[in-house]
């Protein structure tokens, strides 16, 4: 069986200021075990990327961006190009996060275009997929998530798949009062992995699929113990250094 390197991402979203995020970065830097085998990436807001990159220095923690434009360059006021992210030291970028899909209308096609562009500029996409409560209740969960994945798989070649990380977000369990169990998360991760195996068995075993639900120190170990869950995309808990490091240690 292929050994997959665990991946933990801290999605800071639109939170904090330069002082608090600088302190957060320093605390994560000093608390995280330098010998950890887990790949750790933090995703600050655009305006703080250079400052956080400087604080990270040559540390093993990598820098990622939360979003970018699906176009190379041009008259797109307010947008950020993939080449710009690469230029300032980003290694990863989130693509298709549920908030981008729901609040800003990003379609499967736009998400696929962004994945293609990220790979072209040597940025590793963290592709987010997930279903809403209505889709789960109507038994459309698997078909919805697999359609989101296929929209990307249809646009990139198999060799590029090795650079992709997939993050499963159970949108129905985020802010709804519903709770996703470790077993429910594993079931969707297993579905995604089998779908990838059907495309290419080796890549299906190699690609990391991480969990983008509400991971906290209290439930991290149980979630990460599942055989097809290779880490997590952490939201609120990533804004607390002790909690974030505890989650990294749990994997």
CA distance 154 to 79: 26
What is the full DSSP assignment across 3-24? PPPPEEEEE-TT---HHHHHHH
- Per-residue pLDDT, averaged over 167-178, amounts to 81
Which residue among 97, 99, 106, 189 is the active-site one?
A: 97
pLDDT for residue 236 is more than 90: yes
pLDDT above 70 covers what percent of the chain?
A: 97
* C-alpha 76, offset from chain centre: 25
Burial level of 17, CB count in 10 A (0-12/13-18/19+)? exposed
pLDDT for residue 2 is more than 80: no
Predicted pLDDT of residue 59: 77
pLDDT for residue 166 is more than 80: yes
- Reference 210, options 1, 8, 75, 28; nearest CA is 8
CA distance 97 to 44: 14
Write down the mean pLDDT value for the chain.
94
Could you tell me which residue, 70 or 60, shows the higher pLDDT? Answer: 70
| Contacts of 164 by beta carbon, 8 Å cutoff, 6+ apart | 115, 124, 125, 127, 152, 156, 207
Predicted pLDDT of residue 175: 65
> Model confidence at 179, in pLDDT bands (50, 70, 90)?
low
Q: Is residue 183 among the annotated active site residues?
A: no
Predicted pLDDT of residue 169: 95
What is the full DSSP assignment across 181-217? -HHHHHHHHHHHHHHHHHH-HHHHHHSEEEE-S---H
Q: Is residue 169 among the annotated active site residues?
A: yes
CA distance 203 to 42: 25
DSSP lists the bridge partners of residue 39 as 7
Predicted pLDDT of residue 126: 98
Which residue among 39, 113, 169, 189 is the active-site one?
A: 169
- Per-residue pLDDT, averaged over 141-161, amounts to 94
> Model confidence at 158, in pLDDT bands (50, 70, 90)?
confident
DSSP lists the bridge partners of residue 95 as 127
């Amino acid at each position: 069986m292929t050994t997959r390197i665990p991946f933990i991402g801290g999605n800071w979203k639109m939170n904090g200021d330069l002082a608090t995020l600088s302190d957060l970065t320093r605390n994560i830097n000093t608390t995280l075990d330098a010998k950890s085998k887990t790949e750790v990436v933090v995703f600050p807001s655009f305006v703080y990327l250079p400052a956080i990159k400087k604080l990270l220095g040559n540390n093993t923690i990598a820098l990622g961006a939360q979003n970018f434009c699906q176009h190379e360059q041009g008259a797109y006021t307010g947008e950020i190009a993939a080449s710009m992210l690469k230029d300032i030291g980003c290694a990863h970028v989130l693509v298709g996060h549920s908030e981008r899909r729901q609040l800003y209308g990003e379609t499967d096609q736009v998400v696929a275009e962004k994945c293609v562009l990220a790979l072209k500029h040597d940025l590793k996409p963290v592709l987010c997929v997930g279903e809403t409560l209505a889709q789960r209740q109507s038994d459309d969960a698997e078909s919805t998530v697999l359609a989101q994945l296929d929209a990307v798989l249809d646009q990139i070649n198999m060799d590029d798949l090795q650079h992709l990380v997939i993050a499963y977000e159970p949108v129905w369990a985020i802010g709804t009062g519903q709770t996703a169990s470790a077993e429910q998360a594993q079931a969707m991760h297993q579905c995604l992995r089998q779908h990838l195996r059907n495309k290419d068995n080796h890549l299906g075993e190699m690609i990391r699929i991480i969990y983008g639900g509400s991971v906290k120190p209290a439930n991290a170990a149980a979630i990460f113990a599942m055989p097809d869950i290779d880490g997590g995309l952490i939201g609120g808990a990533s804004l607390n250094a002790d909690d974030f490091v505890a989650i990294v240690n749990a994997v």
